[in-house]
Amino acid sequence: MRLIPCIKSYDEGVDHSKQIDREIKEWIKTYNEAIKLLLLGTGESGKTTIIKQMRILHIKGFSHSERMAMTTHIHFNTHEAIYEIIQNMPPLGIGLQNPKNVRAQEYLLKVGPEGPQEYNEEYFDNVRDLWQDGGVRECFKRSNEYQLIDSAEYFLDRIDLIGKEDYVPSDADILRCRRKTTGIQKIEFKVKVPKSVHGGIQEFWMFDVGGQRGERKKWIQVFEGIHAIWFVVACSDFDQTLREDNSQNRLKEALILFEDVWQSRFLLEAGLIVFLNKQDLLETKIKQGRSIAPYFPKYNHFEAPGDEYTRTKLFIRSLFANLTNKKRERREVIASAERFVVLEASRARECYFHFTTATDTDNVRTVFRDVHQMILTHILSNIGVY
């Protein structure tokens, strides 16, 4: 009787499953070793700009194809800017100062809010003529009374460059390009660790989530395992309202949201760093004679050294700092799409503040270096090394 040796048959499905298991284990190992940062804040606070800065500083920036892909969005930002301005001129009682520009105004209004099918020479000539009109400039100065992207002036001032057929967006252009963030975005990068905290290379994972009210219900999906929260505040928004709710002041919304984040038991172990952002735009507004006092009357009694801009930025910092000092009381909070606190945390925490301009790469580089050291120290302290 002949014996046939037993040979184990190859099962492609089993082998594929084992490969997936190995990849999952490797991913979990990397996940556990990486420092995870979560960017939070209201819509248009500058979170996505910081993500872009991390790419410039730590991941070789943007390729030529990526730059060319951004052209479409920059063209639309430019159109969105001029269209919103001329559309809001009649409600504000502002007319064109040059009658010759009526045709250009009619042309752009006919194009509509979605922009032209083709961004051609005729289109850019009309935009250029309108942007030079005194009435359009007057309406732009009152942009806090309607919804206008922060980069409107930046792109409209560069209409000659943006309108060229061979236009390639620069880093500065990409940093100012606005696209609404939906869902959860993530980038990974590596940074050298200072010798003062044992040296080596540290991997970072940074998450960006949409800041509009309808997006906040997704935030809780990325809370687990987060080492540090970067809460981004658009300080220049003190006199503006939300896109999604014209009755709510943007800075007041940021304060409500910050209090939820500060009190959340889901984020108790995470370090909290507040980026008081858009300092360049805040300083410009103050120099133009705008004041935070009509929107926050307590400013009239706020005492601090320095000029009006310095006092304003210190006042805004105090608004957030005061929330961290409020007496904590355990209370039930009604959960909703906009609020994710279930029970307040009761453990003492620290909060750090930085004045930032997210579109300024040198500023972000300096702040990130300080924050990097702070995060590492916070983590080492939690595990008992410091």
The residues annotated as belonging to the active site are 44, 49, 178, 208, 212
Residue 294: CB partners within 8 Å, gap ≥ 6? 239
Is 235 known as a binding-site position?
Answer: no
Measure CA of the first residue to CA of the last residue in the chain; give whole Å: 74
Is 279 known as a binding-site position?
Answer: yes
Is 173 known as a binding-site position?
Answer: no
For residue 346, the number of C-alpha atoms closer than 13 Å in the C-beta half-sphere is: 4
User: Do the beta carbons of residue 131 and residue 97 sit within 8 Å?
Assistant: no
DSSP 49-70: HHHHHHHHHHS----HHHHHHH
Is 287 known as a binding-site position?
Answer: no
Is 180 known as a binding-site position?
Answer: yes
Is 214 known as a binding-site position?
Answer: no
Is 211 known as a binding-site position?
Answer: yes
User: Do the beta carbons of residue 233 and residue 316 sit within 8 Å?
Assistant: yes
Is 47 known as a binding-site position?
Answer: yes
Is 151 known as a binding-site position?
Answer: yes
Is 46 known as a binding-site position?
Answer: yes
User: Do the beta carbons of residue 380 and residue 197 sit within 8 Å?
Assistant: yes
User: Do the beta carbons of residue 206 and residue 39 sit within 8 Å?
Assistant: yes
Residue 127: CB partners within 8 Å, gap ≥ 6? 78, 79, 82, 104, 108, 156, 159, 163
Is 356 known as a binding-site position?
Answer: no
Residue ranges of the binding site: 44-49, 150-151, 175-181, 208-212, 277-280, 358
Residue ranges of the binding site for Mg(2+): 48, 181
Residue ranges of the binding site for GTP: 44-49, 150-151, 175-181, 208-212, 277-280, 358
